[in-house]
Every structure is written in structure tokens, then in C-alpha cells.
Structure 1
Amino acid sequence: MTTPHEEQNRFMLLLVLILLQHLLWSSRVSDENKAMVEQLQKYAIIKSSKVAEVMETIDRVLFVPPGASPYYDSPMPIGYNATISAPHMHPSCLELLQKHLQPGMRALDGNIKWIVI
């Protein structure tokens, strides 16, 4: 049986590990779309060449307010009480979606990223 103090220590350790993981990822902020795609490939978020091609073709900077950091892996406000998802979310969804597409089909991601099979 663990004591409340041990439970608190475990919780704090878990919290520190989660924050550390976020800082390690966020500290590698990309300064351009291609670098962001390469980073997403490095972390195996982008697995297929088709999704990488789509992500490289449509630059995220087109969908964020001027002066924002479009390649920072975090959701960001885009106005009207809405946000654009963090960059890793789009290829994650496209990777899952492409498995259900057949040759000739097309899909449109909410971030306006086309995938054509």
C-alpha cells in the first residue's frame, strides 16, 4: 500500500516527465515548413511519403495570423474563437485516413491539406 506522500511524489514525477517531453519537442521549433515536416518524420508522426508530400506542398503559414509562429507544435488561435490544430495533428489524421482511400479518391483536411491517392 502506498502512502499519500508516495502518491504525490509519483504524480509530481509524471508531471515533470510530461513537461520535459513537451519542452524537448517545443524547443525544436521549426522555422520553415520543410523543417517542420522533417521533424514530424523524425518522430514517426509522418510515416508515408504521400503524407510528407502533402504536408510539404501546403505551407502552414498560409493558415495562421501574420506574426504567429506557424511551425510551433501547439494549437493557435486564428480568430472568431477558433484555433488551428497543432502541426502534428494533421499528418496523424492523414496517416489514418489514407488507409481508407482507394486510387482516384481525394480527401480534404480541415487545414486544407489535400491527399490524392
Structure 2
Amino acid sequence: MSWRSTGHTNSELINNLSRNGLLTSRALAAAMLATDRAHFCPHAPYADAPQRIGYDATISAPHMHVYALEALLPYITGERRGKVGEKEGRGVRVLDVGCGSGYLLAVIGHLLPPGGKVIGIEHIPQLTSLATSNLRRSPATAAMLSDGRIQAVTADGRQGYAPEAPYDAIHVGAAADGWGVVDTLVNQLGRGGRLFIPVCDGDGGEGEGGGTAGQWVWEVDKDEEGKVTKKKSHGVMYVPLTDRKEFS
């Protein structure tokens, strides 16, 4: 059904995702309508398919963004805030590992409650600059950059971003090679939080584009007592989390 969601405009894409039953949250639909994908995707922005954004990176297909954000939605909006975060009196914190061209930073920014913040990490400085530039194309997200609701940093996302931890929600937009990265990010997950991450576990899942990917999406939850549970979802085919590269 995902390929049928392609549209000629941003609103047509969002409406098709909703009509096909892929997008069910009104709040998420509104946030995506407020975020023109063309600001973040230079080629075929309203196609429901992954697209290249340069520097060996891609922006995921819209239906995959929907899947990830609906899984994290109550954590992003603060509906599932853990007691630790509430006790500390600080706003919701969201981490986006592999923020690419900045699209999810914009959508998440529109979903955050007052006092919330989303941090995007890229290990390629040019992508960090690209995300920031793209976010400035809309007055709304430009304001979020200015007041600190959105921040893009250059760092190794596999190590998370300790200065803003713990996080209510962590999204990873590239596949981790094994469980070491998962454990590192879980350590930065707040009690009552959720991590969404694709993992290369060699189990031969059916990838998003067909074929054997060996990647599966995992939803990892940490309860109020700090107990961690892992739920395996479906096979996908993401680009891998990689070391920093130098591009001229």
C-alpha cells in the first residue's frame, strides 16, 4: 500500500498516507502537513520511497517515518513521561540519531510540548549544516532553532549524546551493527522512555525494498524501575550506522 501513497504535493502525500491506513494519528498528520518534505528532500520529495540526499545518505520513505513516529508519539508529546523526567522538572527530550537532512527534527519539533527539545546527531559535518540550512527554510522551524527547541550537532551518534540525557524518546535512522550501540543508547534512555532502532542481527528479515536484509526494527522500553524490554517488529533495509567520513 505504501507506493500508492505517493502524491504531487505535500498535502496529497499526507492525505494518501492517511487514506491508506498508514498514518492514523491526527497530531502526527498535522505536524507532517506543517513540514514541507520538499525542504528536506531534493529529488521526488512527495514519493513514498527513500531518496538520496548526498554524502552516501538517504532520507527514509514517508511511510517509514510515519511508522517510527507513531511508535514514539506518546513519548515525544509527553503523554508517557517517566516520573524521573517529571521530578527533574525539565521538558521532554528527544534524540534523533542520523538526522540526515533534518526532516524528522522538523516534524518532532512541531509535536513537542512546551519546554521540549529535540537533538539531531550526524557524524558528517556537511549533513549537520544541511539539516540546519533546511530547517531555516520555514519560519516555524527557524524559530525552533533560534530558541533551542531544535539542535543539530556533529558527533558519533553510536555514542548517543550524553549532555542532554536522559531521553524520553530516541529514534535511530540507520541500522546498528549488533547490540553494542543499542546498549549505549539504552543507558541514555530515561525511565519510562522508548528507543526505536533498526538492528543488523543476521536473522534474514524481509527488507523494506524486498530481499533479505538481516535487519529488524526493535522497540526498546525502559520502565519506571529501570527494567528494559525489547520488542522485535519487522524486517527493514536501512543504510548502516558508520564511522565519520571526510567529504571534499
TM-score with structure 2 setting the length: 0.34
Amino acid at match of 1:116: L
Counterpart amino acid of residue 60 in structure 2: S
Once the 2 structures are TM-superposed, how far is the Cα of residue 27 of structure 1 from its aligned partner?
Answer: 5.4
- Residue identity (%): 35
The residue type paired with residue 112 of structure 2 is V
**Could you give the per-residue CA deviations for residues 38-70 of structure 1, whole angstroms, max 9, x where no partner exists?**
1111122211111001110111101112xx211
Distance 2:93 2:14 in 1: 21
Report the equivalent of 2:112.
116
Label 1:69 to 1:50 Cα distance change in 2 as closer, same or farther (>3 A): same
| 1:106 Cα deviation after fit | 5.8
AA aligned opposite 2:39? L
Q: How far 1:90 moved relative to its partner?
A: 1.2
Please list, as runs of the form range in 1=range in 2, the aligned pairs for 1:13-92 lying within 5 A after superposition: 25-26=2-3, 29-65=6-42, 68-92=43-67
| Conservation of the 8 A alpha-carbon contact between 1:73 and 1:86 | yes
Query: Residue 77 of structure 1: SS of its match in structure 2?
Result: strand
Paired residue type of 2:54: G
Larger Rg: 1
Is 2:74 the partner of 1:99? yes
Aligned equivalents of 1:87 and 1:32: distance in 2? 13
Give the superposition deviation at 1:26.
3.1
Change (3 A) 1:108 1:45: farther
- Contact between 1:55 and 1:91, CA under 8 Å: does it hold in 2? no
Cα displacement (A) at 1:30:
0.3
Superposition TM-score, scaled by structure 1 size: 0.67
Q: Where does the alignment leave 5 or more consecutive residues of structure 2 unmatched?
A: 80-90, 114-248
* 1:79–1:39 CA distance, 2 compared to 1 (3 A): same
* Partner amino acid, structure 2, of 1:52: A
In structure 2, the CA distance between the partners of 1:44 and 1:105, relative to structure 1 (3 Å rule), is farther
Q: Aligned residue pairs: how many?
A: 92
Give the RMSD, CA atoms, in angstroms. Answer: 2.2
Q: 2-side partners of 1:92 and 1:61: how far apart? A: 20
Q: Do 1:76 and 1:86's aligned partners in 2 also have CA atoms closer than 8 Å?
A: yes
Q: Specify which structure has the higher proportion of helix.
A: 1
Flag the structure with more relative contact order, 1 or 2, with Cα contacts below 8 A and sequence separation at least 6. Answer: 1
Question: Given the superposition, is the C-alpha separation of residues 93 and 30 from structure 1 closer, same or farther in structure 2, using an over 3 Å criterion?
Answer: same
Q: Greater share of strand residues, 1 or 2?
A: 2
